[in-house]
Structure 1
């Protein structure tokens, strides 16, 4: 009974949050239209507005089930290059979460290289700006976010379809993952799309192959926000997604996982 009540409350809160976010974004778009027509953009002198890239970020709803929003121009080119520069010297073979222990293990499911920013780097001004932006646009408190991970996929590398939510008791007790912000840091590549195979009944190009679902092509500065939990507070199997094989060039991305809480 308690679990059911918790799921219902979480579902209602999620529904309200999504509604507020979409309403706020439409309101911002309307205000920008009015101010552009007048030739006056007051937020150009507003520090918080610059931090949130108001006037640059453009939302596009990709799917309602699973819930997916692409934020175009979420990061500036300078922010993308900055994250790549931090990550490049510290890349290691990527791991996946072991479903039994909750620890990171190597797997042929994921063939990229990556690293995590540390707690000191979270204090850097540019990182703080990105973290705040993620929190505001996702409507998830910053303290509920894991450390940001930066990944590099070279030619022939991929990430097979998977869920971001946890299935091991260790991590679930520390707080289930509810949403993911996936940010593209480069676009000079072929392939490397993010595929959501259960998002609709269409077909799309994934690493040069036609597959079911929706595929989001990497574009430097764009970000994908998707939820791993449904409106009822339970995990959403439709949120399964994968990183298509890179057929040319190099794909850089940054990932921020957000939890219902972090114990």
Structure 2
């Protein structure tokens, strides 16, 4: 976990903390008994590609990038030439844009009502006067800000548009707003024009927001361990940063920071990659009729109308599929060696996942579950026990990530989730990938993909049956351990057997010429006998 930089730590002093809501556990207990369709959900996703931007710095092979959200005013992602800037980040002074004791607008003095106009209780109503224009003052360090990207925080209780006007009055090339929220440190949103505000059309500099966690990264970019405070330059920020439209790059959307930890990753898979995954699975899926711990069907009763396949690829994956895994590793931060292969579900009309956990008694639960919608028409994924019940609508290529365990490595009971039936008339597809707390065994990354390769990635049923038998006899953990050992031992026996067959064949071929040579040698005495007979005749 990234430690708070000194910059952000100071900012936290100005944040108003929200009191903890009592009785949350009681409400969640009640929701367990409720009909999922009757809950009032908070719907996601809310972010779109139109607002996705990237803040980047570095060079050569060392590049750091942060996710940013573009405001509704100022240059948009579709206006690449206007949005893209490269300059130095400078902290605003004051950080919020509001000086101590400064009022946002000059207060209007009350004037006596005009003659002949009556207000309430017989009083004369005052004449309506046009509101005074808000006074926009440049920042104290406007000279330093001029031509650069100014960094401000949203703790000054002023609108994003007003902050943009202050940044523009200071000569800034762009405005970077940090969303200071210690309860939701990864949250960002798209700034809007508030009711009654004017002048949005005059903002011609990019205005973007980053999260508090991203600000921590930005303000520690040039700080090294044990660096003295006097050696830190520009508050730890890089000398230059680049801002540009995100396009089809993956970007995050925060849902719940804890209980459960839940977030979305937009564009984790491209639409073409989704279609390729469907194509690879559609002829191999089979109805879920029994538990299959090996392929993460922990309880078959948890699903209805679902056909499933685990596509075993492991270390045999193609360069294209390896690039997908590397992308997931880069975006999520989870090591690729801890991933399961993709499990693809074809969900028939009316099919669903019942409320369940990605865990089973006797097995260590996965650290995280990554669910990717492969179709736009699928049913929503819901989390009824989250602080506010969450509903994630199907969006092709969008991944839903939830952490199954808490900071004590125990199952988070709030990760109960379900996939509601789709309104589509046809089948829809969903893929999942699990992240385990330890690296996946070599047997499962190499041996099982080899067994599955002749069948297009589908594991032969006898292999699954062997695993089930071992689990039934020795328990889930010990049975799986023995299975992994057998998976390594069996290929070794197979290789030794093949080597022995090859050796026998070579030996047999080598012995055939020897037989011919022996026959030739045995015929020599006859020749010698004839020679003796000839010699005796001469005598």
| Other structure's SS at 2:253 match | strand
Q: 1:141 to 1:103 in 2, by over 3 A?
A: closer
The CA distance in 1 between the partners of 2:268 and 2:81, in whole Å, is 21
Q: 1:121 to 1:184 in 2, by over 3 A?
A: farther
Aligned to 1:132: 326
Aligned to 1:167: 361
Contact 2:262/2:403 (<8 A) preserved: yes
Q: Report the TM-score, using the length of structure 1 for normalisation.
A: 0.70
Q: 2:303 aligns with which of 104, 110, 117?
A: 110
Q: Report the TM-score, using the length of structure 2 for normalisation.
A: 0.36
The CA distance in 2 between the partners of 1:36 and 1:132, in whole Å, is 32
Structure 1 position 177 matched with structure 2 position 352: no
Q: 1:56 aligns with which of 228, 245, 249?
A: 249
Q: Deviation at 1:259?
A: 0.6
1:170-189 deviations in Å (ceiling 9; x for gaps) = x33xxx31101111111135
Structure 1 position 38 matched with structure 2 position 38: no
Contact 1:134/1:181 (<8 A) preserved: no
Q: 1:107 to 1:123 in 2, by over 3 A?
A: closer
Q: Deviation at 1:137?
A: 2.3
Q: Deviation at 1:58?
A: 2.0
The CA distance in 1 between the partners of 2:391 and 2:421, in whole Å, is 12
The CA distance in 2 between the partners of 1:109 and 1:96, in whole Å, is 10
Alignment coverage as a number of residue pairs: 212
1:1-263 matches, cutoff 5 A:
16=1, 27-30=65-68, 37-38=83-84, 56-64=249-257, 65-94=259-288, 97=291, 104=297, 107-111=300-304, 112-119=306-313, 123-168=317-362, 171-172=363-364, 176-189=365-378, 192-201=379-388, 213-249=389-425, 250-261=427-438, 262-263=440-441
The CA distance in 2 between the partners of 1:18 and 1:218, in whole Å, is 34
The CA distance in 2 between the partners of 1:245 and 1:127, in whole Å, is 30
Q: Deviation at 1:103?
A: 8.0
Q: 1:105 to 1:120 in 2, by over 3 A?
A: closer
The structure having more radius of gyration, on CA atoms, is 2
Contact 1:122/1:128 (<8 A) preserved: no
Q: Deviation at 1:155?
A: 0.8
The CA distance in 2 between the partners of 1:167 and 1:81, in whole Å, is 35
Where relative contact order (Cα < 8 A, 6+ residues apart) is larger, the structure is 1
Q: Deviation at 1:131?
A: 1.4
Q: 1:95 to 1:188 in 2, by over 3 A?
A: same
Q: 1:103 to 1:225 in 2, by over 3 A?
A: closer
| Other structure's SS at 1:71 match | strand
Contact 2:250/2:331 (<8 A) preserved: no
| Other structure's SS at 1:136 match | helix
Unaligned runs of 5+ residues in structure 1 are 1-15, 20-24, 41-52, 202-212
Name the structure with the higher strand share. 1
Contact 2:298/2:359 (<8 A) preserved: no
Q: Deviation at 1:253?
A: 1.1
The CA distance in 1 between the partners of 2:82 and 2:409, in whole Å, is 40
The CA distance in 2 between the partners of 1:179 and 1:128, in whole Å, is 20
Contact 2:248/2:267 (<8 A) preserved: no
